[in-house]
Amino acid sequence: MYMGRHPEVLWAQRSDKVYLTVALPDAKDINVKCEPQGLFSFSALGAQGEPFHFTLTLYGTILPEGCKTKPGLRNIICSIQKEQKGWWKRLLKTEEKPAPYLKVDWNKWCDEDEEESRSDSASEDGDHAAYVGDEDESSDDEGMLYLPDLEKVRGNKKR
């Protein structure tokens, strides 16, 4: 008996956390359970009351008290605290190919070597974005691909 569908789940990690973004607009009755051995369970009702659920056996152990869920209008963001700081080789314990509804969240993705320098480079990127915007107005769309804070910089200029 089939008891629900799987929403799309995007994932990213930092050395201390794993982020799961569940794409489920207007979800109701959201229930998230984190167990120390790395078991993560999610269930919710969609906008039309249809049930969605999934369970993941994560690569490493987690701290249930460090798991937080933030529901939004379009998705639910789950922040999962790793028991030990470090980079996981993959999201799931199993080496099998992950289910098709699990995808890497490239917008939140951060590599090990990027994590330390990320806060330093944020201001550099902002300065660079302002420079690129002044120099060549025809590259508006191109700049968006590389400089996510371009809109903020532009907003500051318009004042």
CATH number of the 9-98 domain: 2.60.40.790
Torsion of CA 41, 104, 142, 144, to 10 degrees: 30
- How far is it, in rounded angstroms, from Cα 118 to Cα 114? 6
What would the pLDDT profile of 36-75 be if each residue is shown by its tens digit?
Answer: 999 999 999 999 999 999 999 999 999 999 999 999 989 9
- Per-residue pLDDT of 89-112, as tens digits, reads 999 999 998 899 999 999 888 777
Q: How many other C-beta atoms lie within 10 A of the C-beta of residue 56?
A: 22
Most confident residue range from 35-39, 109-113, 143-147, 154-158: 35-39
Domain boundaries, the chain: 9-98
Kindly report whether the global pTM for this prediction surpasses the value 0.75. no
